[in-house]
Structure 1
Amino acid sequence: MENVVLIIHLLLALSLIGVVLLQRSEGGGLGMGGGGGGAMSGRAAATAMGKVTWILAIAFIITSITLTVIAAEKSAGASVIDRLGGSSAPADGAEDTTVPGLGDLDTLLPPAADDDAPLTPRAD
């Protein structure tokens, strides 16, 4: 079901882009103006294109909301951490320093500096 709605959503997005690009410019936007006649000129064509744009926009919003509802239902009660297989907090209250796939976190960090050691510049 989700794939069908997603395909319809993508087709609506492409159609909406095409219809918006086909519309006659009202001028002033980029300073290019409308100019020239053609098959898509006149007030009747503008209102027909406007209606098609509105229909496509409403259908796009409906499919967006539908996809959001489907995604919310699929992830109800589960977090990303649960799906990865890790735990959110250690059971005994101690700090867990293991990172899934990387091992112990202490081996990834640089060694701690001694507070008593003087800061010396590196010799290059």
Structure 2
Amino acid sequence: MSLFIFLTVIQAIVAAALVTVVLMQRSEGGGLGIGGSPGGLMSARGAADFLTRATSILATLFVILSIALAALAVENTGARTVDTSLDRSVPTGPAAPVQPGPTEAPADDDPLAGAAQE
């Protein structure tokens, strides 16, 4: 169970990083919108290449972690049996009529019995 929790925390971190990297990209593909020398790492072109590569790596990690967590969840919960104690099936035959039982006479030492007869 601790592996499941560990992988869930790692997936949350990867998801937050993926959202951050995607939001830093420009919709036109410029990436960060930082100007500078065209050959540098953080130029518009270099930032776009870095963010595109980071997005693909984080997306791949996210999918792999999702598959691993799904496999762990199935392994932990797959051995249960079906509980049939709440079976609500209708009986096929008619139900037998309920016969009223014999009424008992009140005991002589019961003080309420005498008051009920008066």
Q: TM-score category by the smaller chain?
A: 0.5 to 0.7
Give the match for residue 59 of structure 2: 57
Match of 2:34 among 33, 38, 45: 38
Following superposition of structure 1 onto structure 2, how do residues 59-98 of structure 1 map, counting pairs within 5 Å? 59-78=61-80, 82=83, 87=85, 89=87, 94-95=89-90
CA drift at 1:42: 1.6
In the other structure, the counterpart of 2:11 is 9
Matches within 5 A, 1:24-35: 24-26=26-28
One-letter code of the match for 2:57? I
Post-superposition Cα deviations, 1:13-54, rounded to whole Å, max 9, x if no partner, equal: 111000000012218xxxxxx7x9426652121011000000
Equivalent residue letter for 2:87:
A
The answer to whether the Cα contact below 8 Å between 2:14 and 2:62 also exists between their aligned partners in 1 is yes
Q: Which ranges of structure 2 fall in alignment gaps of 5 or more residues? A: 36-41, 92-118
Residue number among 3, 20, 26 corresponding to 1:18 in the alignment: 20
Q: How many Å apart are 1:95 and its aligned residue?
A: 3.8
CA RMSD of aligned residues (A): 2.8
1:76 to 1:88, Cα distance in 2 relative to 1, 3 A: farther
* TM-score normalised by length of structure 1: 0.55
The alpha carbon displacement at 1:87 in A equals 2.6
* Structure 1 contact 12–60 (Cα < 8 Å) conserved: yes
One-letter amino acid of the structure 1 residue matched with residue 71 of structure 2: V
Q: Is the 8 A contact 2:25 2:48 kept in 1?
A: yes
Q: How many residues align structurally?
A: 82
What runs of 5+ residues in structure 1 fail to find an aligned partner? 28-33, 97-124
- Which TM-score applies when normalising by structure 2? 0.58
Distance 1:66-1:22 versus aligned 2 partners, 3 A rule: same
